[in-house]
Amino acid sequence: METSENATPVVKKTSKNHYETLNEKITKMKVTFDNAMLPQIFAVMVTVGYTAERIAGMNAKLEELILLNANQIKESADETAAQSLFNAKRAEINKVFNTHRGLLRILFKEDALARPTLQLDGENPVAYGNWNQLVTQVYAQLSTPGMLAQTSTIGITQEAVTAQQQAMTELYALKDSIIKEGGEAEKATNVRDCAFDELYPQYSDYIKYAKLLMPNDQLLEMIGVTVR
């Protein structure tokens, strides 16, 4: 395929709007406050009120924010881990449940009483609440002596039913763990965000003053300002 020598090349444009994550903003603040006491920078910024005490105060707030951010990351990871354990346990239970339902549908294919009792004609729900209700009710019905006498012939014994019911109990505990970890993660996020919202405007003002008072690109770069 031939191309024209005079064809205009396609230039990919990079968006000027780069969304900074909170972690990136914290990193930039650390660079700024770490270098704020350098003599050539401090001498300029002290003229607009950035004394050693004021800078030390912002640094202390930043260190607290860093700790709060680390805690928020930990709590969020704990919530994710709890959710993963729950998902794995539910998938494990559901796999056995689907096998049991398949066996029961064959066993009771012509039993007009057992099919509605065990809800064999409906689909396996996706939503947790409906799924939980179905699984709980089915194994409650299967645990009765009259039902077990029939289902034991296809391997759905008292032991098999009890194992599934025990697994459901473990699933409920994991669900409680998700709620607990979620609450802790939310609290950690709120505390972290409040600390950030208090400090970031102070940092932003410092940078605005610096840009006006320090036209020297090198000095600005030393406090984390990207000069273009």
Burial class (CB in 10 A: 0-12, 13-18, 19+), 148: middle
Residue 14, domain member (yes or no): no
Task: Report which of 185, 161, 169, 183 is spatially closest to residue 90, judged by C-alpha positions.
Answer: 169
Owning domain of residue 96:
22-221
For residue 153, give Cα distances in angstroms to 15, 23, 36, 47, 149.
67, 60, 79, 89, 8
Query: What pLDDT, on the 0 to 100 scale, is given for residue 228?
Result: 66
Residue 6, domain member (yes or no): no
Residue 203, domain member (yes or no): yes
Residue 118, domain member (yes or no): yes
As a 3-state breakdown, the chain gives helix, strand, coil percent values, each rounded to 5, of 75, 0, 25
Residue 16, domain member (yes or no): no
Collapsing DSSP states into helix, strand and coil, what is residue 167? helix
- Global pTM value: 0.80
C-alpha span between 146 and 9 (Å, rounded): 79
Query: What pLDDT, on the 0 to 100 scale, is given for residue 1?
Result: 41
Residue 84 neighbours by CB under 8 Å, 6+ apart: none
Residue 5, domain member (yes or no): no
Residue 117, domain member (yes or no): yes
How remote is the C-alpha of 118 from its chain's centroid?
Answer: 37
Query: What pLDDT, on the 0 to 100 scale, is given for residue 20?
Result: 82
Residue 162, domain member (yes or no): yes
Query: Is the backbone of residue 211 left (phi > 0), alpha (psi -120 to 50) or beta?
Result: alpha
- 3-state SS record for 95-115: HHHHHHHHHHHHHCCCCCCHH
The amino acid at 61: K
The amino acid at 62: L
Collapsing DSSP states into helix, strand and coil, what is residue 17? coil
Q: Is the dihedral of CA 76, 80, 83, 89 positive or negative?
A: negative
Task: Report which of 68, 64, 88 is spatially closest to residue 76, judged by C-alpha positions.
Answer: 68
Residue 40 neighbours by CB under 8 Å, 6+ apart: 219
Query: What pLDDT, on the 0 to 100 scale, is given for residue 19?
Result: 66
Number of domains in the chain: 1
Judge whether 118 and 104 are in contact, CB under 8 Å: yes
Query: What pLDDT, on the 0 to 100 scale, is given for residue 162?
Result: 98
pLDDT in tens, the chain (228 residues): 444 444 434 433 434 444 689 999 999 999 999 999 999 999 999 999 999 999 999 999 999 999 999 999 999 999 999 999 999 999 999 999 999 999 999 999 999 999 999 999 988 999 999 999 999 999 999 999 999 999 999 999 999 999 999 999 999 999 999 999 999 999 999 999 999 999 999 999 999 999 999 887 889 999 988 876
